[in-house]
Amino acid sequence: MSGWLGRLFPKRPKVGPEQARDMLDQGAILLDVREDAEWRAGHAPKARHIPLSRLPARLRDLPPNRTVVTVCRSGARSARAAALLAREGREVVNLSGGMHAWARAGLPVVASGGRPGQVV
């Protein structure tokens, strides 16, 4: 990004699905910023759900001393979430390719209630 958009949403470090999973195993938080219907259809186990539109009001819901890995469907909304969190002083990375990349890597996806899910 360049110009004023680049200043509002600077590029954040990106990680692939396997690296994200390793970070989660070491204590990072996976923050899913998709909308409610997308979340219900399928999400990564143990992910936290805060839609991007609600994130500014819910920053306190995220522990300040843990790395956050942001994720959405393809990586665009989560990049905006990562930029917001970085401006707040959080250690954050974006999951490149989003939940589509997560699922393509063969990592688990569950629907609400713990049933097998799908990425929409």
Average pLDDT (52-78) is 95
| Residue 116 domain-assigned (yes or no) | no
pLDDT 10s digits, 29-50: 999 999 999 999 999 999 999 9
- Rounded Cα distance, 95 and 14, in Å: 6
Q: Report yes or no on 2 lying in a domain.
A: no
Gyration radius from the chain CA atoms: 13
Q: Is the pLDDT of residue 68 over 90?
A: yes
CA torsion angle 98 99 102 108 (round to 10): 160
Report pTM.
0.89
- Residue at 7 is within a domain: no
Task: Write down the catalytic residue from 72, 86, 92, 101.
Answer: 72
Residue 23 located in a structural domain: yes
Annotation marks residue 120 as catalytic: no
Range of the domain at 78: 14-108
SS3 state at 117: coil
Mean pLDDT to the nearest integer, 51-71: 96
- Among candidate residues 47, 35, 37, the one with its CA nearest the CA of residue 102: 47
CATH number reported for the structural domain that contains residue 35 in this entry: 3.40.250.10
For range 51-75, the mean pLDDT: 95
pLDDT band at 9 (very low <50, low <70, confident <90, very high): very low
